[in-house]
Amino acid sequence: MCVDIQCIFFNISESSFSLCIRSELAGATSTGGTFMVSPSSSSRASDPAWIHAKVVAGSKGAMICLHCGKKIGGGGITRFKYHLAGIPGQVESCKKVPNDVKHQMKQLLDARGRNEERRQETGVDHSTRFEDSSYAIFSIEGNSASNFRPSRKRRTGYFPPHATIDSEPISDRLMASEDMVQHGMVDAEAPNDQLHEARIAIARWWYDADVPFSAAKSPFYQPMLEAIASAGLGFKGPSYHDLREPLLKHIAEEIREYLHDLRREWSVRGCSIIADRLKGHGEGFIINFLVYCPQGTMFLKSVDTSAENTDLLEIFDEVIRDVGSENIVQFITDIDARYKAAVKTLEERYGTFVWSPCAARCIDLMLENFADAKYFPMVNETLEKARKITKFIYNHAWVLSLMRKEFTNGRDLCRPAISRFATHFLSLQCIVKFEKELRQMVSCNKWVKSTYAKGGPGKDVSAIILKDVDFWAHCKEVVKVTEPLLRVLRLVDSNENPSMGYLYEAMEKAKESIRSRMMHRACLYGPYVRVIDARMERQLHSPLHAAGCFFNPGIYFSPSFRMQSYAFRGLIKTIASLVRDGEIQDKIFVQLEEYKKSTGDFGLPIAIRQREKLNPVAWWDNFGNGTLELQSLAVRVLSQCCSATGCERNWEIFEFLHSSKLSRLERSRISDGVFIRYNLKLRERNQRKLKDAIDPISLDNIDILEEWVSEEPSLLCRDDLNWESVDAPFAEPTSDDEELVVVDDNDEEATVAALPWSGADDVYCPQPDQDPYVYVTKDSET
């Protein structure tokens, strides 16, 4: 029997639930009065995994991961779930999938396995549900199609149980339908009217309330929608008063309970106070104080220092008393002399912590020196040409769309980082990575026939890409020099593991890598290494960093490590600063001999084998129990961070908080709101380790990428400024992307030969007024 159903409406009186089915059944099979609707393209929208994939046109079952861009050749959506879940054996794991998506895919696969086991035991498929099944079950009374009606046996399956993983929330289908339509996976002419109206209602409120687009990336956005859907029809949102009073108080209490757990951790392994400041606010600065411990980072408070009578010493002292001086291991600020002097005074007063510079800031200053036109004109010129390329592409919709769709597989040329100069050199890495694709783009027929190839700006950009051989050689040399430092920057700014035990060795390896990439020719690596040495000597050096190196057994006992005496001197200063009790100091010095000579528990074969395998903190937890005083000091040192960078880059809310136009009561309310917002972000980062996906042309990221995408009149074609024709990148860059570009060493000789000083003698003896070391040293003393 063949049944043609264009639209069936039926009502369930008990729940006033209406269901609209639009499908076409052909060749439906009947068994015992029940018809099975064959799977169609719409079944894809019921599986949340599909929103993370793009089907390859013309292939049999192949799809592309929207996170990492990997092509999965067959195996269906189940094999793709293994890719997202990171389960080995079936397919290579995705390295860029967010943790929440990864967890969801694991749950889906676990639920599928349980259902399969139950099906084998009982012979019944327990996973079948009307709303998320590939088959819909109907009953027919008699042999007439006019009597076709839904089976009442499945009535309970019409309501989606959101608490179970093998059911799908309405919002998942909503997202899937948009993405499927965009990539041609479902019929764009058959949208779900109810879902579309819901999306329009959300968008209308969004634009009216002037909510930033980036708010859609909030981890609380989807749970909010699902909670509203679960509340049912008639739910009324919280009022103006509710949001300002009881709900604000409730969330603030919830956050304080979470932070109370963090505070308890401070006394166990110590903590670091972080002073993160905003420059250029009036005559002073806004300083955000954060507290780091291995369990996570918390936002303490924000202080405006623009007033004339501001006393930094008193502000810092108040923060120390709040945290507890006995809990503090270090106080991190940037390299400003006033901040350092204030902390040093308090360091002598309390005698329980040390001042440390922000490692990320010091490394960024090294990169800033590399881009200085006076001492490194080649680097500056290369960056200017690279920015000319990106500004042209990102200010013309047709060119940007052409690049993303046909040449870079949805990826961008601009790579945002935690700072301005790190962004410069990460973006240059991406341009080198896509050299071949950029050459192909400005040589393809579409480009050649376009108006851009005939205009002045387009010709200039094409000439840089196709004809400027020196540009590409210089790009590769700059990447070779800066890539090691960018790796260290990513290490010290990571929130995943404490970096104290690795910083010094990482900097030494970065310098050695630069020497090696410059073929050990002093005339090539000399200028760069001089800058690094100057910044390390004058700014980055800290006894705590040296002590961390000493306590890291994987580094200290490595045959290649040659700085044992330096590390030990730093340790002596650290002991003198952190341990004031003379008896405990004596015990530590006795126990140090066991560690240095690998005797006692430190000399056990398993302890020696685990030196490089275990995290340093875990190693001391396992093998330092026989030397409790030394173990306690080592764990407190190794558990600390190295940088003073928080997760908040939008400082407008803090400027508003400190505005003189606010009343004291209103400022108190806003202060609570800021406290909640910042700590919610930090809690999510602590718990989920999420990566921030960033679109280069988004207003939310314009500050960090301004020099790479901002409008430049000389590079614009006025007939192509239509944002509506630009698709969002499906493989967005991230601030801590794991795939840093490394130039092929086979190109080394060709790159060196193109350098302007490659024929010079293998020496580096600059004049005093041209020596970066002298320049950086003077700069660091101001």
- Average pLDDT on 435-442 reads 92
* pLDDT over 90 at 588, yes or no: yes
pLDDT in tens, 671-723: 777 788 888 888 877 766 544 444 433 334 434 344 544 444 444 444 444 44
> What is d(CA 708, CA 394) in angstroms, rounded to the nearest whole number?
8
Q: Quick one: what percent of the chain has pLDDT higher than 90? A: 26
Residue 778 has what pLDDT?
Answer: 60
> What is d(CA 441, CA 390) in angstroms, rounded to the nearest whole number?
14
Residue 299 has what pLDDT?
Answer: 87
* pLDDT over 70 at 174, yes or no: no
- Average pLDDT on 436-462 reads 90
Residue 146 has what pLDDT?
Answer: 40
Residue 271 has what pLDDT?
Answer: 93
Which of the four pLDDT bands, split at 50, 70 and 90, describes residue 767? low
> What is d(CA 237, CA 209) in angstroms, rounded to the nearest whole number?
14
| Pick from 126-140, 222-236, 687-701: least confident | 126-140
Q: What angle do CA 506, 512, 516 make, to 5 degrees?
A: 140
More reliable by pLDDT, 683 or 172: 683
Residue 737 has what pLDDT?
Answer: 42
Counting Cβ atoms within 10 Å, is residue 661 exposed (0-12), middle (13-18) or buried (19+)? exposed
Instruction: Tell which residue, 542, 629, 647, 553, has the closest CA to residue 298.
Output: 647
| Pick from 225-229, 314-318, 680-684, 741-745: least confident | 741-745
> What is d(CA 722, CA 619) in angstroms, rounded to the nearest whole number?
57
Which of the four pLDDT bands, split at 50, 70 and 90, describes residue 776? low
* pLDDT over 90 at 251, yes or no: no
More reliable by pLDDT, 472 or 156: 472
* pLDDT over 90 at 148, yes or no: no
pLDDT in tens, 341-392: 999 999 999 989 999 999 988 998 999 999 988 888 999 999 999 999 988 8
SS3 655: helix
- Average pLDDT on 189-201 reads 76
Which of the four pLDDT bands, split at 50, 70 and 90, describes residue 424? confident
Per-residue b or e along 555-587, where b marks 16 or more CB atoms closer than 10 Å to that residue's CB: bbbeeeeebeeebbebbeebbebbbeeeeebeb
* pLDDT over 80 at 594, yes or no: yes
Q: How far apart are the first and last CA of the chain?
A: 89
Residue 705 has what pLDDT?
Answer: 44
Which of the four pLDDT bands, split at 50, 70 and 90, describes residue 584? very high
More reliable by pLDDT, 580 or 764: 580
* pLDDT over 80 at 563, yes or no: yes
More reliable by pLDDT, 525 or 26: 525
Which of the four pLDDT bands, split at 50, 70 and 90, describes residue 119? low
Residue 142 has what pLDDT?
Answer: 41
Mean pLDDT for all residues in the chain: 74
Selection from 129-138, 180-189, 248-257, 665-674 with the highest mean pLDDT: 248-257
> What is d(CA 480, CA 488) in angstroms, rounded to the nearest whole number?
14
* pLDDT over 60 at 193, yes or no: yes
Count of residues in the chain: 782
- Average pLDDT on 412-435 reads 83
